[in-house]
Structure 1
Amino acid sequence: MSEMDGSKRCSRCGRSLPRDAFAGNRSMKDGLQAYCRECAAEYYRQRQEAKGMSVRIRVPVPRGHKRCPDCGEVKPHSGWERNKSSSDGWASYCRECRAERNRISYFKRKYGLTPHELDDLKAQQMGVCCICLTAPAEHVDHCHETGRVRGVLCFSCNAGLGQFKDRPDAMRRAAAYLEGNSWKPILVAPGVYQLPS
């Protein structure tokens, strides 16, 4: 086979291949690259690895599906969110991986916690809320003034602290009220009232 019958010889592997096996290159006399597409890809991969970088391996994907670079699974488009700014119209990561990446980013940005640090915090509390000691610890509690993380609480205890606006004096009065202690001023003598502590 020769260039007359619609084929070209690759200067890297030496095979004679059809012209569509070569990418275009206007600076070459015949308008095609010297290496076939396979050899060009292999050459690129070798150069990147020599620099210490890795090249993603192309995986054949059926029509209506996309491969997630995070989990490596090929999923139908129903497992992806739309993204008008991307070239194919779909998000870069599948719904599950995207949700996990967003969760990790949220805890890092809001509390300065990595997933490992959050797991360590829960393990120190033995996985339970450090206020009620019954419900699982799921919500990070922090000081709204300093931003310092105090612990991991259940939803109810975390919401309760928020309702009391992180005021220990109000929480002490609430505890005294629940324990049956008086919350109203008590008449001790005529005109003398004892205020609750």
Structure 2
Amino acid sequence: MPDGLQAYCRKCSAEYYRQRQEAKGKKVREKIAVPPGHKRCPQCELVKPHAEWERNKSSSDGWASYCRECRAERNRISYFKRRYGLTPAELEALVAEQRGVCCICLAAPAEHVDHCHQTGRVRGVLCFSCNAALGQFKDRPDAIRRAAAYVEGIAWKPTLVAPGVYQLPS
């Protein structure tokens, strides 16, 4: 309107909007009264104090859209989907297949997704130490075999056969 006011009150406008959205088959959530210094999380649907929210200067109220817990969970799900193509159900199935333990040491809990750095294919879920060890060996099977033999007491020192020619033990 020219005077800057709406033709209908806020309550009537909200009701009209709700009716139009429901006619389109969309759901409109009910407005919930939130005390000052609090915000409602759309995922867990709990009203929490601002201390449980991250700051976000670009949002209208200055706070993130989701509480810290829900935001962390959403980020975790997004990371595994983006990086490895795994949904939470697929990740849980991988861990369940391994009975919750690392494939290599069979002792520590499986918590880190292991993948081939060349193809990106997920191989399994390992403990932190075993996953880091594979990374240190650059996923080279020959180096891993030599390391295993070394630990078992077999020296893999090359012997000089001729000048510039070395022979590795078989």
TM-score, normalised via structure 1 length: 0.77
Alpha-carbon offset, residue 186 of structure 1: 6.3
Q: Measure the CA separation in 2 of the matches of 1:143 and 1:137.
A: 17
Q: How many residues align?
A: 165
Letter in 2 for 1:156: S
Cα deviations by residue, 1:107-164 (Å, 9 ceiling, x for unpaired): 1110011111111111111111111111111000000001111101000000000000
- From 67, 76, 95, the equivalent of 1:103 is 76
* 1:3-82 equivalent positions in 2, closer than 5 A: 26=1, 32-34=6-8, 36-82=9-55
Aligned to 2:163: none
* 1:171-186 equivalent positions in 2, closer than 5 A: 171-185=144-158
Alpha-carbon offset, residue 37 of structure 1: 3.3
Alpha-carbon offset, residue 182 of structure 1: 2.1
Question: RMSD of aligned C-alpha atoms?
Answer: 2.1
Aligned to 1:6: none
Letter in 1 for 2:102: C
Give unpaired runs (5+ residues) of structure 1: 1-25, 188-192
User: How high is the sequence identity, in percent, across the aligned residues?
Assistant: 78
Judging changes above 3 Å, is the alpha-carbon distance between structure 1 residues 77 and 196 closer, same or farther for their aligned structure 2 residues? same
SS of 2:153's partner is: coil
Alpha-carbon offset, residue 64 of structure 1: 0.7
Give unpaired runs (5+ residues) of structure 2: 161-165
Q: Work out which structure has the larger RCO, using CA pairs closer than 8 Å and 6 or more positions apart in sequence.
A: 2
